[in-house]
């Protein structure tokens, strides 16, 4: 759909038409990738030494981020309705079925939290002054909002330009492959460089997933818009065409006309996804239902803002190692149950495969005395 914007320049109102999607970055943004990366030829020994230095640097910065997270203050408290917490950048790794305690099958999506760190925190005043987007989002009906940028997926710093690497050097975190921004209220601001864990979300809460839909490329009208097509009989080369486009009068195609074109790869938000399971060691979150995008795509996860599904109590501003509690072990637990107790957090709705499915007691198992029919059949055959 084509949209219109009214912009004022030099006292005159001009009309500019916006596009449905932007596949290339804006020309005024600084370049991300370094164009001279492939031109620099290094010998094997120098390249191996450089890789060792980069790996050691990443390990040190990751330790600093974990230490900053442990020193940050956090608590499990009530979350007001006007509060907005930071989100996570996750990667869709597939779908898997889960079963409830009553035997119902639920299809869940597995989302991997890959090395999330807070890169920058911009105040609403600075955001409003320096950005066109900030003029729309910095001050809204919920009050002033801070722009918190989160980076995910550590990558080789040699691939990127020095302008792009500058923000990570300032924050003290490794160079990230993906960046995402969230609107955060003042009472939930994280620390710059803080490591974000999958336990930022809790079991049973509802979240929203934002990302790009599956990219189908250039498709015809029948696939893209669900059109019926032309008659299958007495037609030639028109079976899947859209037919008349209504070019009468002005003899032009009006904006918004449904025609063949690029299908998919549009920004979509799916709200109301329930968190059912969480693998803490692997940093994998299981959510009920499907999320936009293909397998391997990155998405933005944040708290659901619907009034009946909003999180009322949780870690503020985010989860830190100081909130970790060691669960109590009971004597009747098996070694497998004790191992899963530390590695996973599961919703009480789901069935635990470490527990037996059917329990029998001595009162239920009763041997009914009756006639042995096998001997009678053998006696009949002998006669």
Helix (H) or strand (E) holding 375: helix 373-382
Give dist(CA 157, CA 33) in Å, integer.
Answer: 10
pLDDT of residue 371: 63
- Containing 299, the helix (H) or strand (E) segment is strand 298-303
Kindly report, residue by residue over 226-273, the tens digit of the pLDDT: 999 998 888 888 899 998 888 788 888 888 899 999 999 999 999 999
15-29, 177-191, 270-284, 303-317: which has the minimum mean pLDDT?
15-29
Residue 329 above 80 pLDDT?
no
Helix (H), strand (E) at residue 121: strand 116-122
Cα separation of 36 and 42, whole Å? 13
Distance from chain centroid for Cα 329: 33
Give the burial class of 49: count Cβ atoms within 10 A of its Cβ; 0-12 exposed, 13-18 middle, 19 or more buried: exposed
Torsion angle (degrees, nearest 10) of CA 220, 221, 225, 231: -130
Question: For residue 339, what pLDDT band results from cuts at 50, 70 and 90?
Answer: very low
Compute and round to an integer the Cα radius of gyration of the chain: 29
Helix, coil or strand: residue 303: strand
What span, in angstroms and rounded, lies between the C-alpha atoms of 102 and 106?
A: 12
Per-residue pLDDT reduced to its tens digit, 181-217: 999 999 999 999 999 999 999 999 999 999 999 999 9
**Do residues 340 and 354 lie in contact, with contact meaning Cβ atoms separated by under 8 Å?**
yes
Flag whether pLDDT at 39 surpasses 70: no
Pairing of strands 12-18, 3-9: antiparallel
pLDDT of 281 above 60? yes
Q: In the prediction, which pLDDT does 74 show?
A: 83
Residue scoring higher pLDDT (84 or 4): 84
Q: What is the mean pLDDT of the chain?
A: 83
In this prediction, residue 9 carries a pLDDT of 45
Query: How many angstroms separate the CA atoms of 32 and 41, rounded?
Result: 21
User: Contact at 8 Å (CB) between 323 and 76?
Assistant: yes
**Among the listed residues 156, 182, 184, the one whose alpha carbon sits nearest the alpha carbon of residue 168:** 156
Beta bridge partners of 112: 91, 284
- Cβ atoms of 278 and 203 within 8 Å: the answer is yes
pLDDT interval class at 84 (50, 70, 90)? very high
Report d(CA 349, CA 104) in Å as an integer.
10
Give the phi and the psi of residue 380 in degrees, each rounded to 5. Answer: -65, -40
What span, in angstroms and rounded, lies between the C-alpha atoms of 320 and 71?
8
Check pLDDT > 90 for residue 332.
Answer: no
Structural domains in the chain, CATH included, are: 42-217+263-346 (2.40.30.10)
β-sheet bridge partners, residue 12: 9
Task: Find the mean pLDDT for residues 333-345.
Answer: 57
Contact 246, 257 (CB under 8 A): yes
Residues 260-274 pLDDT 10s: 999 999 999 999 999
DSSP string, 154-197: E--GGGB-HHHHHHHHHHT-PPEEEEEEEEE-GGG---TT-EE-
Q: What is the mean pLDDT of residues 141-169?
A: 92
State percent of the chain over pLDDT 70.
78
All residues at 6 or more sequence positions from 145 whose CB lies less than 8 Å from its CB, including other chains: 84, 124, 137, 138, 139, 183, 184, 185
C-alpha separations of 99 from 103, 285, 360 in Å:
6, 16, 22
Mean pLDDT of 149-155: 94
Report residue 2's pLDDT band, with 50, 70 and 90 as the boundaries: very low
CA distance 33 to 156: 11
Residue 33, pLDDT > 70, answer: yes
From the list 184, 143, 163, 139, the residue with the least C-alpha distance to 300 is 184
pTM tops 0.85: no
Average pLDDT over residues 332-347: 61
Q: What is the distance between the alpha carbons of residues 220 and 235, in angstroms, rounded to a whole number?
A: 18
Averaging pLDDT over each range in 17-26, 72-81, 260-269, 351-360, which range is the top one?
Answer: 260-269
Per-residue pLDDT, 364: 55
CA angle, corner 151, sides to 150 and 155, nearest 5? Answer: 175
Q: Is the pLDDT of residue 7 over 50?
A: no
């Amino acid at each position: 759909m084509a949209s219109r914007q009214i912009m004022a320049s030099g006292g005159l109102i001009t009309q500019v038409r916006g596009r449905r999607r932007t596949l290339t970055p804006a020309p005024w943004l600084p370049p991300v990738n370094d164009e001279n990366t492939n031109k620099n030829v290094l010998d094997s020994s120098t390249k191996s030494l450089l890789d060792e230095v980069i790996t050691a640097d990443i390990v040190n910065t990751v330790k600093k981020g974990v230490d900053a997270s442990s020193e940050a203050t956090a608590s499990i408290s009530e979350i007001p309705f006007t509060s907005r917490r930071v989100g996570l950048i996750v990667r869709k790794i597939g779908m898997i079925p889960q079963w409830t305690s009553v035997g119902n099958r639920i299809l869940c999506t597995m989302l991997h939290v890959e090395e999330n760190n807070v890169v920058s925190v911009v105040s609403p005043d600075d955001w409003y002054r320096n950005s066109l987007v900030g003029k729309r989002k910095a001050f809204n009906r919920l009050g002033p909002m801070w722009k918190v940028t989160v980076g995910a997926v550590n990558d080789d710093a040699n691939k990127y330009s020095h302008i792009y690497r500058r923000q990570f050097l300032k924050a003290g975190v490794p160079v990230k492959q993906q960046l995402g921004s969230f609107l955060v209220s003042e009472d939930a601001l994280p620390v710059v460089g803080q490591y974000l864990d999958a336990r930022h979300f809790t079991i049973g809460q509802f979240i929203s997933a934002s990302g790009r839909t599956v990219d189908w490329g250039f498709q015809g009208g029948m696939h893209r818009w669900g059109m019926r097509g032309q008659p299958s009989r007495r037609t030639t080369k028109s079976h899947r065409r859209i037919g008349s486009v209504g070019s009468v009068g002005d003899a032009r195609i009006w904006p918004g006309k449904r025609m063949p074109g690029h299908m998919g790869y549009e920004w979509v938000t799916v709200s109301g996804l329930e968190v059912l399971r969480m693998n803490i060691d692997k940093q994998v979150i299981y959510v009920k239902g499907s999320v936009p995008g293909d397998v391997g795509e990155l998405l933005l996860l944040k708290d659901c803002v619907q009034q009946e599904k909003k999180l009322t109590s949780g870690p503020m501003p985010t989860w830190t190692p100081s909130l970790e509690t060691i669960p109590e072990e009971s004597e009747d637990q098996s070694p497998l149950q004790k191992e899963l107790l530390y590695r996973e957090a599961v919703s009480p709705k789901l069935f635990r495969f470490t527990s037996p499915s059917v329990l029998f007691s001595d009162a239920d198992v009763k041997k009914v005395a009756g006639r042995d029919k096998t001997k009678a059949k053998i006696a009949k055959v002998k006669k």
